[in-house]
């Protein structure tokens, strides 16, 4: 079991430094280790690591103590498929193996629209992300997650069903799961709406939802009830804090930094409900766009807070 504060031994750090350099020259690429299913992993999303390349951030996450990683494949980010050449894919796959990190998710941002051209582009991005998953990991539990944009639910829900259905057809061909994420203020903003989309499509095996309570808090939705509602169809969990802004609206914060959400309870309830996936620390753009934001410090703070939450919950992580 990982400790909350003992990030890594000196020998482990030396090994990782050697591995990160060796992977550039080695022609042999082994598969990343499979995600253990008798535990839950603690991961970090590279959405909060802008300015650090994928090859650089993976050893940092492993040395810190994380078990897993979500790569941000959204257009404009370092790990977007169009930025990942064949050589880079081989190198990143090798680093994933050497650092023992499990790739649990790719974050995309594909928003259904009324325009056929936009929807066609979204479908191409979903396919490109699916190919990237195939090239980087043997982990059959890796997902592609995306929000579905804003707008009025009643006016958009049929469009969402239509387009998500097309995405799932693509991800299923690659044996990858598509995860839709309810978002505060979005057209799909709660688990009930995500469940409705899944049900309308006939509960396909390769369609699930992302659970992120930071988007439900202060909306009248309760943690225990939303976990119970969503857990059987949840394949990825994102964590961050949310506080009310005195001037109106809400502010996202690093997970575990405000006490607004009982993450130990969240982890315990998910585990009791049968969830065995990733708890992924997500840093909002509200934070990483701020002047002076330090992604390395955020990586350390998220690990300290969330590894402690795992210990308080009594939920196992990979040995």
For residue 23, the model assigns a pLDDT of 44
Structure tokens at 268: 């315990």
Tens of pLDDT, residues 191-217: 999 999 999 999 999 999 999 999 999
pLDDT score, position 6: 39
Q: Structural domain boundaries of the chain?
A: 39-313
What is the overall mean pLDDT for the chain?
Answer: 90
Per-residue pLDDT for 125 more than 80? yes
Q: Which residues of 117-136 are buried (b: 16+ CB within 10 A; e: fewer)?
A: eebeebbebbbbbbbbbebb
In this model, does residue 189 exceed pLDDT 70?
yes
Lowest mean pLDDT among 29-33, 123-127, 154-158, 225-229: 29-33
Quick check: 148 and 189 in contact, CB under 8 A? no
In CATH, the number for domain 39-313 is: 3.20.20.150
- What are the structure tokens assigned to 63, written together? 């040395």
Task: Say whether pLDDT at 183 is over 90.
Answer: yes
The angle at the Cα of 77, spanning 71 to 81, to the nearest 5 degrees, equals 70
The 3-state DSSP class for residue 47 equals helix
- pTM score of the predicted model: 0.89
Q: What is the pLDDT of residue 16?
A: 54
Res 91 pLDDT > 90: yes
pLDDT band at 25 (very low <50, low <70, confident <90, very high): very low
């Amino acid at each position: 079991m990982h400790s909350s504060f003992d990030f890594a031994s000196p020998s482990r750090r030396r090994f990782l430094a050697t591995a990160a350099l060796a992977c550039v020259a080695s022609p042999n690429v082994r598969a990343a280790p499979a995600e253990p299913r008798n535990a839950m992993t603690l991961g970090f999303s590279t959405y909060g690591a802008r300015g650090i390349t994928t090859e650089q951030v993976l050893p940092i996450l492993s040395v810190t103590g994380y078990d897993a990683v979500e790569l941000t494949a959204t257009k404009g980010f370092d790990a977007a498929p169009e930025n990942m050449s064949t050589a880079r894919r081989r190198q990143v796959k090798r680093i994933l193996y050497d650092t023992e990190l499990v790739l649990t998710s790719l974050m995309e941002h594909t928003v259904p629209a009324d325009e056929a051209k936009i929807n066609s582009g979204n479908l191409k991005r979903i396919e490109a992300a699916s190919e990237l998953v195939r090239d980087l990991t043997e982990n059959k539990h890796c997902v592609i997650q995306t929000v579905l944009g804003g707008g009025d639910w009643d006016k958009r829900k049929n469009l969402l069903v239509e387009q998500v259905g097309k995405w799932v057809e693509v991800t299923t061909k690659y044996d990858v799961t598509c995860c839709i994420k309810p978002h505060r203020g979005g057209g799909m903003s709660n688990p009930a709406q995500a469940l409705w989309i899944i049900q309308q499509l006939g509960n396909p095996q390769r369609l699930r939802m992302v659970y992120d309570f930071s988007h439900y808090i202060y909306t009248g939705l309760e943690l225990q009830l939303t976990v119970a509602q969503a857990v059987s169809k949840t394949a990825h969990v994102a964590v961050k804090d949310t506080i009310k802004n005195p001037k109106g609206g809400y502010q996202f914060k690093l997970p575990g930094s405000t006490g607004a959400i009982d993450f130990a309870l969240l982890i315990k309830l998910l585990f009791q409900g049968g969830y065995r996936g990733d708890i992924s620390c997500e840093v909002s753009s509200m934070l990483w766009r701020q002047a002076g934001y330090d992604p390395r410090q955020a990586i350390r703070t998220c690990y300290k807070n969330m590894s402690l939450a795992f210990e308080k919950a009594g939920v196992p992580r990979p040995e």
